Structure 1
Amino acid sequence: MESIAVEPKRRRWPWVLLVLLVLLAVLVVAAEFITRSVLPGIVRGIVIEQLDLPADQQLDVEADGILLPQLIAGRLDELHLSSDRVTLEGVTGAADVTATGVPLRGGDLASASGTVRIDQTQLSALLANSELPIESLALEAPNAIASGSISLFGTSIEVSLTLTPGAKDGAITLTPVSATLGGVVLDAQQLNDRFGSLAAQFTATQQLCIADRLPAGLTITGLRIDGTEAVIDLDVDGAIATDQTLLDPGVCP
């Protein structure tokens, strides 16, 4: 009697494992996609509510890295917020902010910084309380040209000041480079030689606090002219995410 050969059963578990791995990868990719679609809207809503911005405020949100592990850990590595036009405490400009270590279950930010780009009209409004004669302002990188009039020896004289802006101790600084009086251009030394103490306001660096024009949690760390715009560098207090008072206007000494 002939024996019947029995084929050994094929091992199917490697194929099953492979299919499971593929399905898991697809689910992870889908979850990542959904997270990237949903998270920006959630963050945008929170920011708009906290800063009391208009409901239709344009605000772009982007998170770096693979999000699922960050969500599981409860903290985003890096988050970018940007807007072409936003108004905070009366100052309007284009804003770009980067925050690191963003907690998803409440808590302070590890760090945050950003820039705000404003035009000459906005910068002129910020400098309104300066002691310099600024009736109009033009931006010519790296300086700002302020024009106005002064009373000198009882006579009103048109003056144009070339100023280099900057920042120190959270305040704006304005360093005079030269002045044009009656069509004559004079540098700081020439002004001192001709007018002595009367020229002090045109030659000394002025410091101007604008903390009351910004949320208390923002500190100016730099100011420069870029083309026809002024770029303000800001440091953001990480506690602004938990301390409501840091969203209120700051105070000048």
Structure 2
Amino acid sequence: MSDDNHTLPYPDSAVEHPTLVIPGKVDAAVPAKRRRWPWVLLVLAVLLALLVVAAEFIARSVLPGIVRGMVIEQLDLPADQQLDVEAGGILLPQLIAGRLDELHLSSDRVTLEGITGAADVTATGIPLRGGDLASANGTVRIDQAELTTLLARSELPIESLALEAPNAIASGSINLFGTSIDVSLTLTPGAKDGDVTMTPVSATLGGVVLDAQQLNDRFGSLAAPFTQTQQLCIADQLPAGLTLTGLKIEGTEAVIDVDVNGAIATDPALLDPGVCP
């Protein structure tokens, strides 16, 4: 026999040898399942987020209508009253907690106790299961005709009113020494202790412009109504739950700032007209 073809010896069973892995024979089932878990969780998270967004959208669609209906009923406003309602923050947590953080109500034209104007009110801490508001305040914008009506009981001779920011120009007539004299007063409006204040700046008598000092010099105590700040209660022309906190002229409108008693949501008496002393 030729020695050219050598016979390889059998492997020594006492020595460890590496195992050869044949490609395509590895069981990949378990690792594949494990790799699918992150995708399943991601899909579930996306579905949950979509549900939350949908619920928030529904809440924002439904809530304004509910609030609008309640306000219109409480204030006895017309059924077709234009009233925009906007809630602040994310609604779902607030609805679950039973308390809204903030509500913004606005109307381009609304009539309360005979006063018509544009209203803008912001309320905070609104309990959904009943209770007082944490706070509320707002502004009412009225034109010169409405302001004239509001000041009708003033001692000042106001037959007509023109608004020229920051003042109001009141025109009328007075009886002085038995003679009727046309008078025009330049007044700066404001608020104090819930009342309207009107501070005279100057007066025009018979075509002559006089400041406060000149009026005092000429007419003495008779000029007091035209030189001293006049204070006028208008509480009986507002719901009792509203307190006047500011009044100023902006452009051709009078801007009235009001503070709202939080108990107005639970006490019907605060919706009735207030009382002047």
TM-score normalised by the shorter chain: which range applies? over 0.9
The C-alpha deviation readout for 1:103-124, integer Å capped at 9, x for no partner, is 1111111100000000000000
Alpha-carbon separation, structure 2, partners of 1:52 and 1:33:
29
Q: Which runs of 5+ in 1 are unaligned?
A: none
Figure out how many residues of one structure are paired with residues of the other and give that number: 252
TM-score (norm 2): 0.89
Alignment partner of 2:179 out of 155, 164, 183:
155
Aligned residue for 1:121, secondary structure, equals helix
Aligned residues: percent identity? 85
Aligned pairs for 1:18-167 (under 5 A) are: 18-167=42-191
Please give the alpha-carbon distance, in whole angstroms, between the structure 2 residues aligned to 1:161 and 1:127: 14
The residue identity in structure 1 corresponding to 2:225 is Q
Q: Does 1:190 align with 2:214?
A: yes
Give the match for residue 255 of structure 2: 231
Q: Residue 181 in 1 paired to residue 202 in 2?
A: no
CA displacement at 1:73 relative to structure 2? 1.0
> Can you list the C-alpha shifts for 1:162-185, whole angstroms capped at 9, x where unaligned?
010000000000101100001100
The equivalent residue for 1:249 is 273
Cα deviation for residue 6 of structure 1 reads 2.2
Deviation by residue 1:129-148 (Cα, 9 ceiling, x = unmatched)? 00111111100000000001
- Report the AA paired with residue 202 of structure 2: S
One-letter amino acid matched to 2:96: I
- Give the counterpart letter for 2:228 in structure 1: A
Residue matched to 1:6? 27
- Aligned-residue CA RMSD in angstroms? 1.1
Cα distance between partner residues in 1 of 2:136 and 2:179: 50
* Counterpart in the other structure of 2:11: none
Greater RCO (CA < 8 Å, at least 6 residues apart): 1
TM-score in terms of structure 1 length: 0.98
Q: Measure how far apart 1:204 and its partner are.
A: 0.9
Q: Secondary structure at the residue paired with 2:66?
A: helix
